[in-house]
Homo-oligomer: A and B are copies of this chain.
């Protein structure tokens, strides 16, 4: 069990299991989205790699043990093999069997039988898509924070913005999740004085996307890093953000404000705007 150490759970918290023959990431991502609809705390237990009958029986036992005070656990599962799924469903729980619920109707709709293999991770390491993701992570790391001007023509996206506007995590997320090669360049006072984008960027204008942020939020983030510095002061943040936004407008660069957006929301918006040709699904 992995309760959050910062917010002790009431002893009566309902237990939720994420059971999978793979990593359990799909079950967990989906389970979280559903559970967020309820203003309750849950104890969460992930049971990954349940890929044999022995492990399934072991998992069933754990679920049964977690039932207390007449409260049965909630079980989100993505077990592709029906025999494993059958064992788990015998446990005393409320079952949300993601595969069985949707795969059978889909078989009917598509007029073909499912292969009942194990999730996406099956042979994933040898796939083109996976290799592209790893290559994109390496590219984004090498092109973080304007470190390298080499091979910018290979970039799918080039992010620009003031320091701490969210460029680095967004670049890494685009690479990790979508295999997008994302370079990023800081816009710094030198650029504002020259009134021009960093010199290697103009040839790639169509791939450039800007991140802005409210000066107040920026100042807060920068203070966490360098408390009391001029760099973090609200006056300096106002100056930099204003100059960066003027520059992006002048250069015709699309941009968004990252102030209230998560990495995932920023990345999704960028993909909608830039529509890179090379996008792995």
Q: Is the CB of A80 within 8 A of B37?
A: yes
Name the interface residues of A166-205: CB closer than 8 Å to any CB of B: 168-169, 172-173, 176-177
- Knowing A102-B34, A128-B6 touch, does A268 contact B117 (C-beta < 8 A)? no
Shortest beta-carbon distance from A274 to chain B in Å: 12
Q: Is the CB of A25 within 8 A of B268?
A: yes
Q: Is A98 an interface residue (CB 8 A)?
A: yes
Q: Is the CB of B265 within 8 A of A121?
A: yes
Q: Is the CB of B264 within 8 A of A115?
A: no
- Knowing A24-B268, A117-B37, A141-B168 touch, does A280 contact B4 (C-beta < 8 A)? yes
Q: Looking at the complex, which one of B4, B25, B117 makes contact with A29 (CB distance below 8 Å)?
A: B25
Q: Is A134 an interface residue (CB 8 A)?
A: yes
Q: Is the CB of B102 within 8 A of A272?
A: no
Q: Mark A109-147, 1 if CB is under 8 A from B, else 0.
A: 110101111011110110010100110011001001000
State how many copies of this chain the complex holds.
2
Shortest beta-carbon distance from A10 to chain B in Å: 14
Q: Mark A250-281, 1 if CB is under 8 A from B, else 0.
A: 00000000011111110111001001011111
Q: Is the CB of B80 within 8 A of A114?
A: no
Q: Is A96 an interface residue (CB 8 A)?
A: yes
Q: Looking at the complex, which one of B98, B137, B277, B279 makes contact with A172 (CB distance below 8 Å)?
A: B137
Q: Which residues of A pack against B, CB within 8 Å?
A: 2, 4-6, 14, 22-26, 28-30, 32-34, 36-40, 44, 46, 48-49, 74, 78, 80, 94, 96, 98-99, 101-103, 105-106, 109-110, 112, 114-117, 119-122, 124-125, 128, 130, 133-134, 137-138, 141, 144, 168-169, 172-173, 176-177, 259-265, 267-269, 272, 275, 277-281
5 inter-chain pairs at a CB distance below 8 angstroms, sorted by A residue, are A29-B29, A44-B281, A125-B259, A137-B168, A172-B172
Top-8 shortest CB links A-B: A37-B114, A23-B268, A26-B33, A23-B264, A124-B262, A94-B109, A48-B268, A44-B281
A-B contact sample (15 more), CB < 8 A, given A36-B117, A141-B168: A2-B279, A26-B33, A33-B119, A33-B120, A34-B98, A34-B102, A37-B103, A38-B112, A39-B115, A121-B265, A124-B262, A130-B262, A137-B169, A172-B172, A172-B176
